[in-house]
Chain A
Amino acid sequence: MQAAAACGAGTTCAKIGLSRGVGVEDDLAQTPEVIVRAARPAAAVPACLLAWLLPGAGHLYLRRTGKGLVLMGAIVSMFVLGVLLDARLQPYLGFDDPLAILRSLAQMAMGVPYFVARALGVDAGQVVSVTHEYGNTFTEVGGLLNILVILDAFDTAMGRKDTGA
């Protein structure tokens, strides 16, 4: 009953003990219980889209509330700090510096926060600022981390990674 309540409506779930290679009875007595949810393949695409639009939103959609909130707080705060550190968000175009295109794509992986920052006009950055490169690094790594979060949301929806709240 407790596990079913934790999983929420629309999913099938059960509680099991983690195996550590010892006796089953020892497992049940010593290891933490982990909630295992059934796969929701139909939720994979919307979860990935939401995860791209707002970091952590895909996990919230999949009812991994705690995990989603922590990921959202960490990644969005990293991006905001990067903008405050005078990062350049305007995309690099052309092939004179191909690696710069990849850096711009990494920033775009942040989703809505990236486009909101651009719409607010804080995207030019200040190349003379002492923290300019720090800002670039924060915004780019934030986007790259969000790509990992999107992939994790996909694996979670497909039932390949069904532990953790």
Chain B
Amino acid sequence: MMASHLLNLTIFSAVVSTVFAMLLRPDTRSRVRFGLLAFGGFMAAALVVGWIMYPFPL
């Protein structure tokens, strides 16, 4: 079930971003903004680090 790395990464990023946004921001607008930024940051960082690690056979 759900063997896709990208799908798992996306779900993980969405849930963690949602919780962080709810805990760290006081109102709906700033929560949505923070949540989207955190989600994008998670995804971008994982993809960039993944590509950087790609040539290394470790």
Q: Report A's interface with B, CB cutoff 8 A.
A: 32, 34, 67, 70-71, 74-75, 77-78, 81, 84-85, 130-131, 134, 137-138, 141, 145, 148-149, 152, 163-164
Contacts and interface: CB of A to CB of B under 8 A. Distances in A.
Interface of B: 1-3, 8, 11-12, 15-16, 18-19, 22-23, 25-27, 29
The main secondary structure of chain B at its interface with chain A is: helix
A137 B23 CA distance: 21
Contacts of A131: 1-3, 8
The main secondary structure of chain A at its interface with chain B is: helix
A71 B19 contact: yes
A132 to B, nearest CB: 11
Given A67-B22, A70-B22, A163-B27, A145 B16 contact: yes
Contacts of A75: 15, 19
Nearest to B7: A134
A149 B23 contact: yes
A130 B11 CA distance: 17
A66 to B, nearest CB: 9
Nearest to B14: A74
Contact of B12 (A70, A71, A130, A141): A141
B26 A163 contact: yes
Contact of A84 (B1, B15, B18): B1
B19 to A, nearest CB: 5
Contact of A34 (B3, B18, B26): B26
A95 B20 CA distance: 33
Contact of A152 (B15, B18, B23, B27): B23
A71 to B, nearest CB: 6
B19 A148 contact: yes
Contacts of B25: 164
Contact of A164 (B16, B18, B26): B26
Contacts of B8: 85, 131, 134
A74 B12 CA distance: 10
A77 B14 CA distance: 12
